[in-house]
Amino acid sequence: MTDAALSGRTRTEVDRIQDSYMAQVRRRRMYGGLTLAIFVLLMVSGFVVADGRNAGGFWDGWRQMLDFPADVLSEAWEKRANLPGLLVRYFPALIETINIAAASTLIGAIFGLVLSLLSTRGLARWPRLIPLFRRFMDILRAVPEIVIALVLIFILGGGPVPAMIAIALHTAGALGKLYSEVAENADLKPVEGLASTGATWSQRMWLGVLPQVAPNFLSYTLLRFEINIRASAILGFVGAGGIGFELRNAMAWGPGRFDEAAAIFLLLFGTIVFFDQISSRYRNKLTEGT
Amino acid sequence: MLELKAVTKRFGDKTAVDSASFEVDKPKMIGIIGRSGAGKSTLLRILNRLSDASDGQILYDGTDITALKGAQRRAWQSRCAMIFQQFNLVPRMDVVSNVLHGTLNRRSTLATMFNLYPRDDIHKAIEILDRLGIAEQAPKRAEALSGGQQQRVAIARALMQDPSIILADEPIASLDPMNAQIVMDALRRIHEEDGRMVIANLHTLDTARRYCDRVIGMRDGRIVFDGLPDQLTTGAARDIYGAGADFSEAATSTAIETLDRTQRGVVPA
């Protein structure tokens, strides 16, 4: 190749660069190999431990994995004439589930917004309290919403309100974290400009930060709304009402009411697809700026 | 060698490239000029098959480039290297890795994931960097380099592909005059010493006149000029850029008038 011949530099210097780079490559490959080995080891050992603690054992059980869906599907197919009626019957329960999700997303987003601004470096009202607000959000995220819901249902009795509070608390923690990462990248110049006019902290946030981050915030909120629909359906299982409650009843009875279970699955699937489509369309609109 | 037959590209109802045809019989250094939006970049992207032509054919040694698919298309892309205005390197990877990306067409995904490039390729990459005068930057991250150095890394990546054609899309538009000259000299040297064809989009006339063997002018997607640099007179340039004869004078006089007006007018409190 002619590539080497044209250099003004001496051959030895290029050799030196090549050797030192090769040494670097060898070191990097060794690290890469080690990481891969550790990963494989963890996967294998984790699998062996999990399989040992399983009651049935993975190797015997995995063939039956499709049995339950097959049962549900075959029964639902036999009684497919009932399906339209069942869809109509469970529609109100679906609305209740969506309602829980919407209310909790809204409340959670408002609290998340405040928490995020309070815990973002450069924006926080009380910079020294940032760790406090951060840990508070960590706690909100760490406790599973099903645990909060169970406690609240024990205190307040079953119904949609405990589920809403439980999901809202988790949403506040999760959205607060996401919001704060967006707000960290916000341009501080407008904030400084507003501060120079004597604006209060809330005015600076509302007028200087929010317009910059609103599209991203909204897109995260819509994503959270989708997640919350699933969460509120699950909370129905523990007595919070809505479509999850009906689904548990239909499935707990075992064969005989699987047509109802199938109808509910269909409703849930349709809802998720519907809101996924709507929110992705809006998110695209927001990020592209239309 | 290379022949474009009525290559057309439409975006919706807008025609970006309007039946562009030209022929190149031996490796030359070709400059394409025209104002922004004239379709220069689109034409280069079609040549590299980064985007597809709506109509027309590109023949290289008798093969229809526009009809290639899958692995064959990628093989063509490796023979037809591309250099971008914004360098398009991977910023967080070191310089040599970026140059080695020129061999990706020959390597499997798995081998590249684990950074398993052959020793000979690594040595060759550093030799190419040395040829372009930036061998000592080899272990640094690409983002740590200056614009001119980054563009030379991009040229090294192109050379690593050992291509027959090098396409350069405004290679010096983001560089200061000093670095621009280094990069253009490098491209010219590659053309002369290796005998590779170089097709460069340029936005300055003097660069085109100084470095190219042949200049193609585009305006609103059409090829309106195709000739030697010497034939690129001021009149021809005006046609290509669609500028009136009084263009520069008018601009200056407006500026002075504006200045006068602000001086006379009262500045609001």
Do residue A17 and residue B126 have CB atoms under 8 angstroms apart?
yes
Contact status of B128 with chain A (Cβ, < 8 Å): yes
Do residue B116 and residue A29 have CB atoms under 8 angstroms apart?
yes
Do residue A18 and residue B136 have CB atoms under 8 angstroms apart?
no
Distance from CA of A7 to the nearest CA of B (A): 5
Q: Give the start-to-end residue ranges of the domains of chain B.
A: 2-232
| CATH superfamily, domain at B2-232 | P-loop containing nucleotide triphosphate hydrolases (3.40.50.300)
Spatial distance between the Cα atoms of B44 and B26, rounded to a whole number of angstroms = 18
Name the more confident of A57 and B251. A57
How large is the average pLDDT for residues A126-144?
Answer: 93
What is the count of residue pairs from A and B with beta carbons less than 8 Å apart?
55
> Which residue is associated with the tokens 């008798």?
B62
- Give the CATH fold of the A69-288 domain: MetI-like fold (1.10.3720)
**Type of residue numbered B156:** A
Spatial distance between the Cα atoms of B101 and B89, rounded to a whole number of angstroms = 9
How large is the average pLDDT for residues A48-57?
Answer: 74
Distance from CA of A16 to the nearest CA of B (A): 10
pLDDT tens digits for chain B (269 residues)?
899 999 999 998 899 999 999 999 999 999 999 888 889 999 999 999 999 999 999 999 989 999 999 899 999 999 999 999 999 999 989 999 999 999 999 888 888 887 888 999 999 999 999 999 999 999 999 999 999 999 999 999 999 999 999 999 999 988 888 889 999 999 999 999 999 999 999 988 888 888 999 999 999 999 999 999 888 888 888 888 887 665 443 333 333 334 444 444 444 44
pLDDT at residue B206, as a whole number: 84
Distance from CA of B155 to the nearest CA of A (A): 13
Per DSSP, the residues of B21-41 read EEEE-S--EEEEE--TTSSHH
pLDDT at residue A119, as a whole number: 93
Question: At A23, is the secondary structure helix, strand, or coil?
Answer: helix
Q: How far is CA B170 from the centre of its chain?
A: 5
Q: pLDDT tens, A175-219?
A: 999 999 999 988 889 998 998 888 899 999 999 999 889 888 988
Spatial distance between the Cα atoms of B158 and B150, rounded to a whole number of angstroms = 12
Q: Give the start-to-end residue ranges of the domains of chain A.
A: 11-53, 69-288
Q: Which residues of A touch B (CB under 8 A)?
A: 1-4, 6-9, 13-14, 17-18, 20-22, 24-25, 28-29, 32, 36
Strand order across the beta sheet in which B55-60 lies: B14-24, B2-11, B55-60, B63-64
